[in-house]
Chain A
């Protein structure tokens, strides 16, 4: 389903080989197709969410070579050489610490924004292992309409504490 059935349609589009969650995937997509839609519609990796399409809400955040990036405004043609990680494939100790902190604090409500929140936090903690509230504020500009912000902030600190406790 990820590829158009019609050969001629398919042939009209360039092909890209992407490294997603450690595995190569070849997709046919227009060069301007945002990575978000390649992940969701071509690869069925639906953990990365569509919220606004213009990089404002952060629900679509993935890692490009480990850095948090909003995939709804990244053309596939620009990311083909990068290491792409989505929430489904984020399995390092930082991501797992975030997950356990999130569960421990019972952060999620509707949960739709949380993939972006988790991916943003994981990237933050890699570069800033013990973030201050101001650093968290600066990094977590993602929107949550359920207003899980208070528990979210606590969970970021908890994840940082977990990582500090267990040496890598």
Chain B
């Protein structure tokens, strides 16, 4: 897992050169994490003191270790898990570590956070960075103690000589270490020597959170700042026909009414004054053609679309149409079903916001973003300034879930700051947040299969129709992304087709936690359950029968890069979930179990069993068993937390989540209308983390997609009613 050719080459730079870089671009290494409330205050260039062998770690002469986190913290635990990786290799004293948030720079050119990739992508760079620093400190200590370097090790921020019991603190070694060349290929620890990796470590921001001192984007305070809200067209493409700027300006505390390309901004001395000012604008909108859009009509179009061959062939094995479209015969059983998944909102607890300060030919921003470099580029373009003049601080994100991959409001904040010549905090109210989301698109899947005499599918086809998320980001539809979970259908079937059709919608569509795996796996895993029932085979056994060495063989043959699907790992989580749940133990009437599984991008493997109870037509998800294989586990506390979080996220889609559109606009703009999972709805959850010796993968998204089909399959087991559309409405269970 740690072959030299896998590693990044950044360590070829000498520590002195990087030390100079620290001084040259102070903000790059000493950014938002330090003290965001003192934003704008002069930052003293003290970071060059001590030892900075690479961009991820600094140690000063007191022995204080600072670890730089190059991913955004949105609850998934990167500010704990990533430093654990480096600290382990370094042998640092965890209790005395300072965490610093990276900001975009030439050094940190990709801070992108998403796709459950943070741990996997940072694993080797952070281990290598920690190991290089450790080896340099050990080299100095070896000289001082007059012992061979290989008799020394590090722990608790000391270099220790086991034989003599002697130890030298890091702080005493850093000045000499800084003069050494940085090793390009340091040896990494054996897994059994890990001190932190794999052991429970509490969230580093926990104390600040429970004391109310953790800083989210909306908590940023800059001297002289103004507060702004925007009136934006409720229907995409709408324009303001009229508005009453004078009335808004008459509201006490309102300073400016400014028209931007995206809407009309009210800038005030407080958020409340801005909100009142916006109300006073009484904007009359001309909605344009999109006012005719309704999600009901879109659903009908998607249903019609999946009745026809897909526009894009995502996968083809054998000749599925020949089998599926042939005249029925007695020997072959034909099964088909259509599954529907509605539009969804992200509804992060912290509404979207950005604080921007344009001054001195540059712009400083504080924004809870999953794409700090993207914000930097976007603002540089909007203000026609060089990239280096844009500083993007990344405070904590009050939820991300993919919503904060796009931060269009950052541009508005910067433009407003420029216009009013003061720092501006632009906030979207909850209603704005619901009404202007980048929605998870509605998706309809038609699944068809022909079962052979042995009950197993001889042919399989899944046709997906949806508005492509990737179409919101560029002219090309990226089929691979839209068909996640459908194209990589893992069951070994001789004739397979996966087809995709993009049906455009006027509103923005975006990445939602677990992205297109969610609708596609809901359809796929529900349909497998239907096939198992049609074949009269236990759904767990049926899956295991179809997970063979032939699984996804065509994809492998096509030379796909990246991780390869490991059928053993998927089989293992299925078997474990079965064991955990007592799969074969009968349940009383009115209760049922369902199972579903997925390979998440061939990096993480998940199987889940749901247990449900239906009482008087009301669905209660009582238990949720998860077996998950993410390769090397970093922090069990964080990992299990992510599984439980993923279950809660999926439950919203199962029980409530649906964003209808009528008259071209989002029909639900409050938590009263757009309900999300509550405390009372949570099942008892049991999670088993598979012991695995593969490189680590992510856990933020993989626990989401199998939850809905596991529940829908459990409802069938309990009631004989097949759920093919989410959310599961009470009407679907009346009389059950």
Contact = CB atoms under 8 A, between A and B. Distances in A.
Interface string B71-88: 001111100000000000
B351 A51 contact: yes
B397 interface: yes
The prevalent SS among residues of B at the interface is loop
Given A106-B203, A143-B676, A151-B641, A48 B212 contact: yes
Nearest to B353: A50
A118 interface: yes
Of A45, A52, A53, A57, chain B has the most CB atoms within 10 Å of the CB of A52
A42 B219 contact: no
B601 interface: no
Given A1-B225, A4-B269, A53-B430, A150 B644 contact: yes
Interface residues of B, number: 68
A152 interface: yes
Given A41-B271, A112-B399, A59 B349 contact: yes
A65 interface: no
A141 B678 contact: yes
Nearest to B646: A147
B654 to A, nearest CB: 13
B223 interface: yes
Interface string B333-349: 00000000000000111
B409 interface: no
B679 interface: yes
A108 interface: yes
Of B214, B347, B670, chain A has the most CB atoms within 10 Å of the CB of B214
Contacts of B20: none
B206 A30 contact: no
B637 interface: yes
B306 to A, nearest CB: 31
User: How big is the A interface, by class?
Assistant: 35 or more
A9 B350 contact: no
A103 B202 contact: yes
Contacts of B430: 51-54, 57
A17 B149 CA distance: 66
Nearest to B681: A149
Contact of B645 (A45, A112, A143, A146): A146
Interface in A26-46: 29-30, 32-34, 37, 40-42, 44-46
Contacts of A47: 211-213
B218 interface: yes
25 contacts: A4-B269, A29-B272, A30-B273, A37-B270, A44-B221, A46-B212, A46-B218, A46-B219, A47-B211, A49-B216, A51-B351, A51-B430, A57-B430, A57-B671, A102-B210, A108-B206, A108-B210, A109-B75, A110-B397, A111-B214, A112-B398, A114-B209, A146-B75, A147-B677, A151-B644
Given A30-B272, A108-B205, 16 more contacts: A4-B269, A33-B272, A44-B221, A46-B215, A49-B398, A50-B218, A53-B275, A57-B671, A86-B212, A87-B212, A88-B212, A112-B216, A112-B349, A144-B648, A147-B647, A147-B677
Interface of A: 1, 4, 9, 12-13, 29-30, 32-34, 37, 40-42, 44-54, 56-57, 59, 86-88, 98-99, 102-103, 106, 108-115, 118, 136-137, 140-141, 143-153
